[in-house]
Chain A
Amino acid sequence: MYSKKVMEHFNNPRNVGEMKDADGIGKVGNPRCGDVMWLYIKVEKKEGKELIKDVKFKTFGCVAAIATSSAVTELVKGKEVNVIEKLTKDNVVDILEGLPPIKVHCSILAIEALHAAIKDYKEKSKT
């Protein structure tokens, strides 16, 4: 049912953990529905650019929820904030070599977590 890539991320999820000094945190989902994702980002300003220096996640959910979380963290690490802001669920689905139709909502949730973390970072950096 799942692609090799999904299973690989699921079995060896990247960037698992929490971050005490995160610049932005995105918490999405609801335990009642069986999916919760927490995404932490650390942003570094370098030569006028805002780069994702580090990223961590914790996810309560199924195989696809864990794999999409891991894939998103891998996708954004080292990238510019204004670039990753434009990522969509399709980018996540693509690097995972597809998701079963009933699991596509997991990739949406992972992107929502990312966007929530960026929003949190921007609000915090305003003050």
Chain B
Amino acid sequence: MKVYVDNGASTKVDGKVLKAMEPYFTEKYGNASSLHDFGRDALEGLEKARTIIAKKINASAGEIIFTSGGTESDNMAVIGAAYANKNKNHIITSAIEHPAILNTCQELEKRGFDVTYLSVDEGGFVDPKDVESAITDKTALVTIMHANNETGVIEPIEEIGKICREKGVLFHTDTVQSFTKVDINVKKMNIDMASFSSHKIHGPKGVGALYVRTGVKIKKLMYGGKHEFNLRPGTENVAGAIGFAEAVKQMKDSNVKHVTELRDKLIEGVFDSIERVKLNGPRENRLCNNVNFSYLGLEGETISTYLSMKGVATSTGSACASASLEPSHVLIAMGMKHEDAHGSIRMTLSKFTTEEEIEYILKVLPDIIKKSRRISPL
């Protein structure tokens, strides 16, 4: 049996998405800037896609900029806001952000900006009060993710948004993991900018978006034509945008309910069948599709490789699976011991995950842990 539970990394493209995209490769393939019928068809598609995404977050179409994905959106928001506010040089973020934010902030530090990296509590939550006390008259931007990619913790962004708005500081949030799983209302949540990605929600890779509230000024990253409200040059990826929008349409409340039930079955199943495990992140305020356990005394790559041999695709935050020797920065920021952080395995479900697949995981995992623990001295 092949079971894919690495949907936090990327997802299967929904069949309806593929179908919606196809005409934009074969018939409506014009450049959306061209004035002929082919161009007009492409432009119509692009604007339709923009409207669908805007509606989903209670924004206007003119506030959605298509990008190449979450990383570009994050770069554009952080660097764009830093350079648009000339008399400010301070950025506030959290220690558990995705590398697309963290490494961008580190680059800005090298260029002379000050960055505050807020710590999180044991559950992985940023305290809005910490945001409030970190804001100074030099703060250009606060960027705090909506949901964490490793632990699925959902941050209190509505409270943070409110604080930022009251203080007159721009607020950006990376919603790459949460979009369509948790409701986002940019007005109610006082969000000034938000990053989105298509391939995490059964859309194609290579397309994402940045919401920029009307009136918010950012400096663009690239220079070229006047595409995307003169903020992001380059011929628009119309088929990608169409696919992204269709993926948004195809994510229903019933999907979230289905995934939540499977997540809870998996979490409870692991607790029931395996000893010495620790759920990373909270039970409440957790993404509907995220299951992240540390299997104490074990190293993540070992477990994920044995699982892979049984057809189960997962991911690990362990150092040994990557080029760095440091374990997950997210788990360490939550105060976890290094040896426990090394043993973490993330399983991320999707609307296509079935109950049989969860049962299969729960059938093979305990034996794998038993086998691994026979080898481990800890």
Contact = CB atoms under 8 A, between A and B. Distances in A.
B331 to A, nearest CB: 13
Interface stretch (B1-9, B36-44, B199-207, B297-305): B297-305
Contacts of B299: 34-35, 60-62, 65
A31 interface: yes
B320 interface: yes
Contacts of B327: 34
Contacts of B321: 62
A60 B377 contact: yes
Interface in B297-353: 297-299, 301-302, 305-306, 309, 318-321, 323, 325, 327, 337-339, 342
B377 to A, nearest CB: 4
Contacts of B298: 60
Contacts of A33: 325, 338
A67 B215 CA distance: 58
Nearest to A70: B375
A76 B4 CA distance: 40
Nearest to A101: B323
Q: Which of A34, A59, A61 has the most CB of B within 10 A?
A: A34
B374 interface: yes
Contacts of A46: none
A11 B309 contact: yes
A34 B338 contact: yes
B254 interface: no
Interface string A1-24: 000000000110100101000000
A121 interface: no
Contacts of B325: 33-34
Contact of A34 (B309, B320, B374, B375): B320
B338 A59 contact: no
Interface string A34-45: 111010000000
A32 interface: yes
Q: Which of B301, B321, B378 has the most CB of A within 10 A?
A: B301
A58 B327 CA distance: 22
A103 B320 CA distance: 8
Contacts of A102: 323
A66 B377 CA distance: 12
Given A60-B297, A62-B321, A31 B378 contact: yes
A10 B338 contact: no
Nearest to A37: B377
A104 interface: no
Nearest to A31: B339
A34 B302 contact: no
A64 B298 CA distance: 14
A34 B318 contact: yes
B378 A63 contact: no
Given A31-B339, A32-B339, A34-B339, A58 B375 contact: yes
B368 to A, nearest CB: 11
A36 B302 CA distance: 13
Interface string B150-169: 00000000000000000000
A62 B376 contact: no
A86 B306 CA distance: 33
Nearest to A57: B375
A66 B338 contact: no
A33 B318 CA distance: 10
Contacts of A59: 375-377
Interface of A: 10-11, 13, 16, 18, 31-36, 38, 58-66, 102-103
Given A32-B338, A34-B342, A62-B321, 6 more contacts: A13-B375, A31-B338, A34-B299, A34-B319, A60-B299, A63-B320
Interface of B: 297-299, 301-302, 305-306, 309, 318-321, 323, 325, 327, 337-339, 342, 374-378
23 contacts: A11-B306, A11-B309, A13-B375, A31-B339, A32-B337, A32-B338, A34-B318, A34-B319, A34-B320, A35-B320, A59-B375, A60-B297, A60-B339, A60-B377, A60-B378, A62-B301, A62-B302, A63-B301, A63-B302, A63-B305, A65-B299, A66-B302, A103-B320
